[in-house]
Amino acid sequence: MALMITEECINCAVCEPECPNGAIFEGEEIYEIDSDLCTQCVGHFDEPQCQLVCPVDCIPLDPDCLESEEDLTIKYQNLTANNG
């Protein structure tokens, strides 16, 4: 399951550089997460780094992007295979 950023986002930008997959970007009004790139940090870290640094706790799981740990691992492998 990918993560999402809710309307509570204060645009502090601390999450963007923490994403190892480059999934977080500045949207029109708030930061957003590209679900095609989000692996919840599977393959990189034990827990999502964006959630750890978010000062307003506005990065929950995206209920529209249901993925198992296995799906996230496969996504991570595909992303890293294409990058190097």
**What is the domain partition of the chain in residue ranges?**
16-83
Distance CA(18)–CA(52), nearest Å, equals: 9
What is the reported pLDDT for 82?
63
Indicate if the pLDDT at residue 84 is higher than 70: no
The rounded distance, in Å, linking the Cα atoms of 55 and 73 is: 27
Give 43's contacts (C-beta < 8 A, 6+ positions apart).
72, 73, 76, 77, 80
Q: Which two tokens stand for residue 45?
A: 């870290």
pLDDT at 76: 95
Average pLDDT across the chain, whole number = 94
Mean pLDDT of 5-19: 98
Mean per-residue pLDDT, 27-47? 96
Architecture of 16-83 per CATH? Answer: 2-Layer Sandwich (3.30)
Please measure the distance between the N-terminal and C-terminal CA atoms of the chain and give it in whole angstroms. Answer: 24
